[in-house]
Amino acid sequence: MAAVARVKVRRPGTGRVIGDRFVGRALRIYLPLLVMLVVTLFPFYWMAITSFKSASELFDFSVSPLWVREPTLDWYRHLFTQTNFPRWAFNTAIVAIASTLISLFCSILAGYSLARLRYRGADTIGWGIFVTYLVPPTLLFLPLTFVIRELHLFNNLWALILTYPTFLIPFCTWMLMGFFKGIPRELEEAALVDGATRIQAMVRIAIPLALPGILAAALFAFTLSWNEFLYALIFMNDSLVKTIPVGVTQELIHGDEFFWGELMAAALLGSVPVAVLYSFFVDYFVAGMTAGAVKG
């Protein structure tokens, strides 16, 4: 009887087979995903719970460190009243927005020109930009320091607004070039024959269609400048002009003394804008607006 029953449940379409399939799927897809999620999210979790722990709980090793017993907002209150954190957040926002806008403006023009216009040396310039991107900031900061000093821009937000584009523009240009190349050339040719100038064809046809790419580039540029550390560390010494990454690491760590509560609260707040932006625009990366443009 048992043998018969077993034969029955193994038939395709019966519960057992579906069950097997589900287990197999879980093992092949969900288990690795879960492991990855745990690994990547754990630091964030640690950061979040630490920022809500009271001073006594932080150093109490007799209880599990994975949970908060008495959540408190003390560190946040402290961060906003006792440190320059609000100022750092404001500086970071100004620098990130300004350098992103400058970089986008230049990159849209450069990317479009390299993708569309035929002129002598276009390929070389394209490669040149790519190579520029490969030069590490750790090398570039030496000459840039000299430039910033000559311009008397130390401790001035302009120092960052002007230097961030040195790595943002190559990156965004390269990325947008690909996007512009993906837009069928005929669309702009049709616009040119229809009576548009080159600039009009770009503004009315190419840019709207490259919008997903432009938003993606904007997001990357914003994230890179928001998190940038090296230049901000070198060019900004006055506490009032620091950005979050520099302010947090310089002023919330004194020698070997770590203010863990404020550190974690600041780090959490610093990562919120980027996370919000990503969740808002994630669809834009996926949306292919050119569907239906060509072919019958």
Partner 1 sequence: MASVTYEHVTKKFSTDTTAVDDLSLEIRDTEFMVLVGPSGCGKSTALRMLAGLEDITAGEIKIDDQVVNEMPPRDRDVAMVFQSYALYPHMSVFDNMGFGLKMRGSTRSEITSRVKEAGRILRLDQLLARKPRQLSGGQRQRVAVGRAIVRQPRVFLLDEPLSNLDAMLRVQTRIELQKMHQRLGTTFIYVTHDQVEAMTMGDRIAVMKDGVLQQVAPPREIYDQPVNMYVAGFIGSPRMNFLPVTISDHKAKASGLELNLPKAPGVEHGVLGIRPEHFLPNVSDADAAIDLKVEVLEVLGSDQYLYGKVGSDDLIVRVDPQLKVDIGDRVRLGLDMQRLHLFDAGTEKALF
Q: For residues 88 and 79, is the Cβ–Cβ distance under 8 A? A: no
Report, in Å, the least distance between residue 219 CB and partner 1. Answer: 21
Q: For residues 246 and 232, is the Cβ–Cβ distance under 8 A? A: yes
**Helix 15-25 and helix 2-9: axis angle, to 10°?**
60
Which parts of this chain interact with partner 1 (CB under 8 A)?
A: 184, 186-187, 189-197, 200, 204-205, 208-209, 289-296
Whichever of 176 and 210 has its CB closer to partner 1, that residue is 210
Q: What 3-state DSSP class applies to 258?
A: strand
User: In what helix (H) or strand (E) does residue 170 lie, and over which residues does it extend?
Assistant: helix 165-182
Structure tokens at 238: 């006055």
Whichever of 101 and 192 has its CB closer to partner 1, that residue is 192
Report, in Å, the least distance between residue 195 CB and partner 1. Answer: 4
Report, in Å, the least distance between residue 92 CB and partner 1. Answer: 34
Report, in Å, the least distance between residue 56 CB and partner 1. Answer: 59
Whichever of 94 and 289 has its CB closer to partner 1, that residue is 289
Other C-beta atoms lying within 10 Å of the C-beta of residue 222: 23
Whichever of 60 and 194 has its CB closer to partner 1, that residue is 194
**Helix 211-227 and helix 165-182: axis angle, to 10°?**
160
